[in-house]
């Protein structure tokens, strides 16, 4: 792969103010892309943009603060991307919603489902509808949805979240079929991940189910996202790439004592 495989291309990353989204946006900028980033916290988003400008000089970094579950925000985001950058070549749908809500499915409140479906399914679809025509005109485009192991392997208390991410995966496959051949659509499924790979107290119970025996690092996800964004994956669409330490494919794994 060339040193800057995304030279001359543009990207939009939602949920880019921290952790996985921030690492992906930085990785795409380092690979040569101009990047639009969005997140709900303006101060955190501005700090992320400043870091990216410092580490990837010469790249245009456009922060647009707002809630990616809000249709008006999404319309503004798409309009800014088209106006400022002339279109988007890579879209990464990473925004996170209600991930801290822990309850059985039957006890999950209706507002959780409403917000989650708007954030994980209807929101990304709204952006894709606005941005894919320009991708198709250019003859290339890559859309990446960010899933969760909860959508493939049940995690206690995360039923609503898992169902929403499963819906996102089904949408990904249909879009891959419908937008081909000009636009590729793939999914990236992280395991339990932090910016520095350090174990968080509330996630320690998951580690015995991970064959690699540790948390993922956001930079590891970002490198996989770069592969899916670039021409290195030009014959890849409709796929999910697991970057989860083996948790899903080796479900039932028990750590050796």
Distance CA 202, CA 77 (A): 34
Angstrom CA distances, 223 to 27, 72, 107, 148, 227, stand at: 7, 31, 38, 17, 7
Residue 1 confidence (pLDDT): 44
Q: For the domain 10-243, what is the CATH superfamily, name and number? A: NAD(P)-binding Rossmann-like Domain (3.40.50.720)
Active-site annotation holder among 161, 174, 235, 253: 161
CA atoms within 13 A on the CB side of 237: 20
Q: How far is CA 160 from CA 6, 15, 106, 166, 249, in A?
A: 36, 20, 9, 10, 22
Question: Structural domain boundaries of the chain?
Answer: 10-243
Please report how many Cα atoms fall inside a 13 Å half-sphere around the Cα of residue 100, on the Cβ side. 1
Helix (H) or strand (E) holding 165: helix 159-179
Cβ neighbours of residue 107 under 8 Å, at least 6 residues apart? none
| Residue 146, token pair as written in the block | 């960010």
**Listed residue (92, 102, 113) closest to 39, CA to CA:** 92
CA distance 124 to 122: 6
Task: Say what the pLDDT of residue 15 is.
Answer: 94
Distance CA 198, CA 61 (A): 28
> Which residue has 């988007």 as its token pair?
88
**How many residues would you count in the chain?**
257
pLDDT digits (tens, 9 = 90+) for 48-77: 999 999 999 999 999 999 998 899 999 999
Q: Choose among 16, 12, 18, 25: nearest CA to 226.
A: 25
Helices (H) and strands (E) in the chain, counts: 7, 9
d(CA 13, CA 93): 6
Q: Going residue by residue through the chain (257 aa), what tens digit of pLDDT does each one get?
A: 458 999 999 999 999 999 999 999 999 999 999 999 999 999 999 999 999 999 999 999 999 999 988 999 999 999 999 999 999 999 999 987 755 567 789 988 898 899 889 999 999 999 999 999 999 999 999 999 999 999 999 888 889 999 999 999 999 999 999 999 999 999 999 998 877 767 666 666 778 888 998 889 999 999 999 999 999 999 999 999 999 999 998 876 665 54
What is the C-alpha separation between 105 and 248, in angstroms, rounded?
A: 21
Report pLDDT digits (tens) over 78-123.
Answer: 999 999 999 999 999 998 775 556 778 998 889 889 988 999 999 9
What pLDDT, on the 0 to 100 scale, is given for residue 197? 65
161 is catalytic: yes
């Amino acid at each position: 792969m060339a040193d800057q495989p995304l030279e001359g291309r543009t990207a939009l990353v939602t949920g880019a103010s921290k952790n996985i989204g921030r690492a992906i946006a930085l990785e795409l900028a380092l690979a040569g892309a101009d990047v639009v980033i969005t997140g709900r916290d303006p101060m955190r988003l501005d700090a992320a943009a400043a870091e990216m400008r410092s580490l990837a000089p010469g790249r245009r970094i456009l922060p647009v603060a707002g809630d990616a579950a809000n249709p008006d925000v999404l319309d503004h985001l798409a309009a800014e991307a088209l106006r400022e950058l002339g279109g988007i070549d890579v879209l990464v749908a990473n925004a996170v919603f209600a991930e801290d809500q822990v309850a059985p499915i039957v006890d999950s409140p209706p507002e959780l489902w409403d917000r989650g479906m708007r954030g994980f399914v209807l929101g990304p679809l709204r952006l894709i509808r606005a941005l894919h025509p320009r991708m198709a005109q250019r003859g290339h485009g890559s859309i990446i949805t960010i899933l969760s192991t909860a959508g493939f392997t049940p995690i206690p208390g995360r039923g609503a979240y898992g169902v929403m991410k499963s819906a996102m995966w089904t949408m990904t496959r249909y879009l891959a079929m419908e937008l081909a051949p000009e636009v590729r659509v793939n999914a990236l499924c992280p395991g339990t991940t932090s910016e520095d790979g350090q174990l968080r107290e509330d996630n320690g119970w998951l580690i015995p189910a991970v064959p690699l025996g540790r948390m993922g690092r956001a930079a590891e996800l970002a490198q996989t996202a770069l592969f899916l964004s670039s021409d290195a994956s030009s014959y890849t669409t409709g796929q999910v790439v697991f970057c989860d330490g083996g948790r899903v494919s080796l479900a039932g794994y028990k750590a050796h004592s």
